[in-house]
Amino acid sequence: MPGSAIATPPWHLLHHIMFNKFLADGRLVFISTLLLALSTISAAVVLPTVLEAATRKQCLNNDWPAEKHAAHVDFCKTYGYATTNKYGPGF
């Protein structure tokens, strides 16, 4: 700002200073890397579990469109998921 009494560095210099200070602190880099690794491992474990449960529930409830019934039943039988005689999500 012209005429400002406070001297501020340009934003790209401020970012450069802050980024270098962050990388210079080994503890923060270690903690950040550890958190990234743990969250990646958690996602790799949780996502297949959630998908497995959703597939099991869909096969058990026959929760799919009528025109795709045969394909879905075949999928469930092929991969060992139990199916019932119920049809559709409302039954």
What does the pLDDT look like over 13-63, one tens digit per residue?
555 655 666 566 778 878 888 999 999 999 998 989 999 999 999 998 888
Round to whole Å and give the CA distance between 30 and 39: 14
Model pLDDT, residue 91 = 47
Model pLDDT, residue 13 = 58
Model pLDDT, residue 20 = 61
* Per-domain residue ranges of the chain: 24-78
Residues 79, 58 contacting (CB under 8 angstroms): no
| CB atoms near residue 76 (< 10 Å) | 19
Q: Does the model's pTM come out above 0.75?
A: no
Distance of CA 6 to the CA centre of its chain: 44
Residue pointed to by tokens 């795709």: 68
Q: Is 63 left (phi over 0), alpha (psi -120 to 50) or beta?
A: beta
63, exposed or middle or buried, with CB in 10 Å at 0-12, 13-18, 19+? middle
